[in-house]
Structure 1
């Protein structure tokens, strides 16, 4: 399958470098480029990308706002945000808006290509280590007025779904969850799909953030 990729960045040199690098992959087609988040709706409608590689800081409409607007639309393409920060409240906002993950601008070219492929395949571009780093960042920078609201939302889950959600929040892979909870990998995938549908979430990262907001990662009885 050829992955249709749209690149949004206000720096023409960055766009050129990303286009050259990613366009060299046999399974990736650069279908369009843009310099501002304001251009995203028109470019997505014109080119129907599978993945949008989105810069955060742009002059008119920033990448966070553009991501929120895009992911609120039905059948929206996946978004990977570009950032210069390892853990940043802006990145968290992008993930909560439905971005599939983020890549650093100094990431090795092969890893950026791999990230685009992973997102196109339905996997978030966040390793368990990065997920835990983001959780720690949230805990260190703010109290959680969202805790009660997150708890109410998670109360919609059945007990087994709740256990899977907590395991996702712990950064475990499907195989690790299957081993820990004594179920098959396909069953884990089914539970994850049901959790996403019930809670109106886009991806596993959002499950992890919600579980963290609810305070369940420190609750051994969860």
Structure 2
């Protein structure tokens, strides 16, 4: 079983020690540091390389949002979970946009704490169940979607052949038809498609087609708006 290395940044000593004791009972978690906000967070993360950072949203000596921005810039692979009693709507949206991958309410149960950390470690984005089905939930969804879209766009660095294959997939052609169209062996077509899926962080060729078609629709809408403005 993989051990999840945790760093806790919490200026309340009682809560900090309580979290350490809680995780000590579970072998899958290793608290490599439990610190107040008075230490140099950047240096400690560089030195200890945690998988997940648990961060108090209301640190006394740091602006938590500014700290999140700085950490995400310097350590893009670091997963961050912020802790609070109940963050306000604007906080949620801003923290997600700046790189936070989860929220834990400080009155959550032990199992909720553990489950959130496990799922964030696997790459999920986790938010309190109390936020679902509400205006806050919509704000969270919008922020996550914006973040995913920007990451997807930034990650695309396609070869000429990959671009051609994306265009052909979006028209509904099969691998065999693409092979004939590009005079390319089918195994090579499949290899290119695998590369495309990996680069775009997608799972199926249908998703490639949907993304391509939605991208073209966005360009059309943008063009129409420009024409309207010129009238």
Question: TM-score higher than 0.5 here?
Answer: yes
Residue 72 in 1 paired to residue 78 in 2? no
Structure 1 residue ranges without an equivalent (≥5): 139-145, 160-186, 197-213, 215-222
CA spacing shift, 1:76–1:82, aligned 2, 3 Å: same
Residue 194 in 1 paired to residue 200 in 2? yes
Q: Number of residue pairs matched?
A: 160
Alignment partners' CA distance in 2, 1:62 and 1:9: 13
The alpha carbon displacement at 1:87 in A equals: 4.3
The alpha carbon displacement at 1:127 in A equals: 6.8
1:56-205 equivalence runs, <5 A: 56-85=57-86, 87-126=88-127, 130=131, 133=134, 134-136=136-138, 194=200
The alpha carbon displacement at 1:113 in A equals: 1.1
The alpha carbon displacement at 1:195 in A equals: 6.2
CA contact (8 A) 1:6 1:52 kept: yes
Structure 2 SS opposite 1:72: helix
TM-score computed with the length of structure 1 as normaliser: 0.59
Specify the alignment match of 1:19 in structure 2: 20
CA spacing shift, 1:18–1:127, aligned 2, 3 Å: closer
CA spacing shift, 1:25–1:69, aligned 2, 3 Å: same
Structure 2 residue ranges without an equivalent (≥5): 157-165, 168-192, 203-217, 219-231
Specify the alignment match of 1:49 in structure 2: 50
RMSD value, Cα = 3.8
The structure with more radius of gyration: 2
CA spacing shift, 1:191–1:33, aligned 2, 3 Å: same
The alpha carbon displacement at 1:132 in A equals: 5.2
TM-score computed with the length of structure 2 as normaliser: 0.57
The alpha carbon displacement at 1:37 in A equals: 7.2
